[in-house]
Amino acid sequence: MGLLYSLFIGAVAGWLAGKLMKGGGFGLLINIILGILGGVLAGWLFGKLDVRFASGILGDILKGAVGASIILLIANLLKKK
Higher confidence at residue 76 or residue 67?
67
Domain that holds residue 26: 2-80
How far apart are the C-alpha atoms of 25 and 63, rounded to whole Å?
19
**Residue whose C-alpha is closest to residue 66's, from 4, 14, 11, 2:** 14
The domain tally of the chain equals: 1
The answer to whether 38 and 14 have CB atoms below 8 angstroms apart is yes
The answer to whether 70 and 38 have CB atoms below 8 angstroms apart is yes
How far apart are the C-alpha atoms of 6 and 75, rounded to whole Å?
23
Split at pLDDT 50, 70, 90, the class of 25 is: low
Whole-number pLDDT of residue 20? 83
In the predicted model, is pLDDT for residue 15 greater than 60? yes
Please report which helix (H) or strand (E) contains residue 79, including its range. helix 56-80
Whole-number pLDDT of residue 26? 65
Region 20-37: what's the mean pLDDT?
73
In the predicted model, is pLDDT for residue 40 greater than 80? yes
Higher confidence at residue 45 or residue 29?
45
